[in-house]
């Protein structure tokens, strides 16, 4: 075991991960009109943390990335072998790894407004030189937002108004599209669920009918609300 201040042995020096000189021309730009900051961490490469700022169509968020590296072990006697990863591969990974698995995202024409291009660009240069890409990202993001809102309406109805059933992205979508007439917008407290007297499943006490078995679990509340039911 090495002591504090001890000069490392040759086998230890071989294991150090020292990057070779980076190509200064290898740059790519991640562009986002998504109104949310994205932080992507890639544990197996160096550099490994990438922060894409929130953006809008008028002021896109941009992140210029360079190449990263990972290391492969050859054997215990040789230094670790550096494997470079180009900037365009890094940019691709940042965008796709974040969007893969997002609710309502189909990775085609319905997704957050993010894309990547080779080269280093500022937000103003993106607007001047790549406006078709911005318009395409805006179209895809709007379609994704509308899908999130549609799904939120369904979940709100199925959960009898439980605010936990609505995602933060759905609320953000309403803000971005200036939609204000949804009952699940605003501040809501989580309803304390109780068991239905008919079937035993949990239900929202603010509603007289059990969502599961459709029984009138609270006749007094149903009468108070002047509800009538078909015979």
177 in a structural domain: no
**DSSP summary character for residue 56:** -
Across the chain, mean pLDDT equals: 87
Q: What is the pLDDT of residues 18-71, one digit of tens each?
A: 777 888 999 999 999 999 999 999 999 999 999 999 999 999 999 999 999 998
Parent domain of 208: 194-231
Q: What percent of the chain has pLDDT over 70?
A: 89
CA distance 118 to 2: 46
42 in a structural domain: yes
136 in a structural domain: no
Binned average pLDDT, 10 residues per bin, the chain of 231 residues? 43 61 93 96 93 96 96 81 94 96 94 97 97 98 97 90 87 92 73 80 83 85 76 59
First CA to last CA across the chain, in angstroms? 84
Number of domains in the chain: 2
Q: Are residues 17 and 122 in the same domain?
A: yes
Q: Which of 130, 147, 178 is the last residue of a domain?
A: 130
Q: How far is CA 35 from CA 29, 50, 105, 207, in A?
A: 18, 17, 16, 35
Predicted TM-score (pTM) of the model is 0.74
181 in a structural domain: no
Q: Are residues 123 and 198 in the same domain?
A: no
What phi-psi label fits residue 77: left (phi over 0), alpha (psi between -120 and 50 degrees) or beta? alpha
167 in a structural domain: no
85 in a structural domain: yes
Q: Is the peptide bond before 40 cis (omega within 30 degrees of 0)?
A: no
What pLDDT is stored for residue 192 in this prediction? 66
Q: Which of 130, 160, 181 is the last residue of a domain?
A: 130
63 in a structural domain: yes
Q: Are residues 124 and 34 in the same domain?
A: yes
Q: Which of 130, 146, 164 is the last residue of a domain?
A: 130
The distance between the two most distant Cα atoms of the chain, rounded to a whole number of Å, is: 89
């Amino acid at each position: 075991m090495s002591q504090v201040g001890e000069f490392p042995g040759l086998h230890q020096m071989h294991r150090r991960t020292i990057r070779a000189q980076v190509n200064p021309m290898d740059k790519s730009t991640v562009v986002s009109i998504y109104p949310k900051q994205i932080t992507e961490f890639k544990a197996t490469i160096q550099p490994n943390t990438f922060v894409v700022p929130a953006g809008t169509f008028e002021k896109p968020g941009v992140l210029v990335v360079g190449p990263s590296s990972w290391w492969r072990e050859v054997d215990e006697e040789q230094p670790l072998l550096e494997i470079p990863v180009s900037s365009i591969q890094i940019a691709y990974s940042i965008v796709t790894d974040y969007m893969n698995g997002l609710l309502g995202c189909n990775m085609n024409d319905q997704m957050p407004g993010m894309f990547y291009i080779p080269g280093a660009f500022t937000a103003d240069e993106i607007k001047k030189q790549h406006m078709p890409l911005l318009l395409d990202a805006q179209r895809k993001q709007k379609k994704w937002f509308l899908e999130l809102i549609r799904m939120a309406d369904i979940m709100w109805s199925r959960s009898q108004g439980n605010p936990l059933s609505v995602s933060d992205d759905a609320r953000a979508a309403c803000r971005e599209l200036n939609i204000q007439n949804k009952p699940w917008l605003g501040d809501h407290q989580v309803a304390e669920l109780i068991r239905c007297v008919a079937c035993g499943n949990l239900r929202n006490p603010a509603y007289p009918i059990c969502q599961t078995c459709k029984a009138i679990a609270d006749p007094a509340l149903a009468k108070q609300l002047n509800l009538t039911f078909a015979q």
